[in-house]
Amino acid sequence: MHITIDGQQIEAQPGQTVLEAARAAGIYIPALCWHAKTGKAGRCRACVVEVEGRLKESCALPVKEGLVVSNNSAKVLATRRMVVELLLAEGHHNCISCEANGACELQDMAYSLGIERPVFQIDAAPAPKDETSEGIIRDENKCIHCGRCVQACQTVVVNQVLGFGFRGNEAKVVCDADVPMGDSTCVQCGECVQVCPVGALTLKQIAGKMRTWETEKTKVTCPYCGVGCQIDFHTKDDRYAFAMAHEGDWEQQPNKGMLCVKGRFGLDFVDSDQRLTTPLIRKNGVLEEASWDEALRFVADRLGAVKTEHGPDAIGFFASAKVTNEENYQLQRFARAVIGTNNVDHCARL
């Protein structure tokens, strides 16, 4: 079917919302509480569009044949402007020192509307940052109550740690029964950081070191287990910076745009000085560096000697979830076809 946005006819699929159809066609409609993974929340009103003189939330408006939408009318822009001005007045959105500066959806919206500074001043004292979690910094001064993190925690990863607490002006996102994140039941999956549109939830490991947009992104497969999670591996100056679940075609990926604590926070080992880069052979009780040829010859000789002396079942093989299916297949083929044993086992921690 077709709908028209600001005079431009675009294709839309049945079941899509106007926001989704617009995004698919490359048309920018701001959305602060909607996220592809968490769906619509109808909280922020940033996505309003005009249809037959009425303002509607495009994140909740289903497409229908011939629908005519204005994304740019004076009414739409004035409403969005008010949304942003109120949000800016509500917290302490100090872009200069914010970790999300340059990658903030509220900032993008303010920029697109030409808003230079908050017009309303509400002088509430800033709340202290919650830095008790090992991997995540929470800054409620920058929270816009969009609910993406709550939805992600409750229904995407189903950890059910984050929720809304209190009422009215006191309303805020809380961990469990409003305890510091480090004392909560949070499992550090980091999904909340991934969906946060502003600087309210950020990664501790890069705080003050770099902004997320300064990094180079490479899509990789997580090495930690056999699920095959797709990761956007961020590097800066050729060093590991941080990891995010791959977002582009996340619905097609085995991890569906999610990561566990190991995939999110456990990849710093790649730059560890303690990694082995050459094989080691123990000689007279001391590990000494060896060439690959020497190491392979040594292993082949030892396996051959044990097999000759004690039979193939004196040898066992451990496969690992950290390598590919193909490598695990090769290992068991080597055990069965070359050595002649079925002593093959597996451990996710190897």
Which secondary structure element, helix H or strand E, spans residue 306, and what is its range? Answer: helix 292-310
| Sign for the pseudo-dihedral over CA of 14, 157, 162, 223 | negative
Nearer Cβ to ligand FES, position 84 or 267?
84
Least distance in angstroms from the C-beta of 32 to ligand FES: 5
Report the distance separating Cα 199 and Cα 149, nearest Å: 12
Least distance in angstroms from the C-beta of 41 to ligand FES: 6
The encoded tokens of residue 73 equal 């009318």
Report the distance separating Cα 301 and Cα 163, nearest Å: 60
Least distance in angstroms from the C-beta of 205 to ligand FES: 30
Residues that bind ligand FES (CB under 6 A): 31-34, 41-47, 57, 59
Least distance in angstroms from the C-beta of 48 to ligand FES: 8
Report the distance separating Cα 135 and Cα 33, nearest Å: 24
243: nearest Cα among 227, 226, 272, 221: 221
DSSP string of 32-85? Answer: SS-BTTTB----S-TTEEEETTEEEETTS-B--TT-EEBSS-HHHHHHHHHHHH
Report the distance separating Cα 248 and Cα 25, nearest Å: 15
Nearer Cβ to ligand FES, position 137 or 146?
146
Nearer Cβ to ligand FES, position 151 or 215?
151
Least distance in angstroms from the C-beta of 30 to ligand FES: 8
Report the distance separating Cα 138 and Cα 98, nearest Å: 12
Nearer Cβ to ligand FES, position 31 or 229?
31
Least distance in angstroms from the C-beta of 83 to ligand FES: 9
Nearer Cβ to ligand FES, position 34 or 233?
34
Least distance in angstroms from the C-beta of 231 to ligand FES: 27
Distances in whole angstroms, Cα of residue 144 to Cα of each of 57, 84, 127, 148, 323: 18, 10, 14, 10, 41
State the residue number with the nearest CB to ligand FES: 59
Task: Note whether 272 and 195 are within 8 A (CB).
Answer: no
Nearer Cβ to ligand FES, position 34 or 265?
34
Nearer Cβ to ligand FES, position 10 or 144?
144
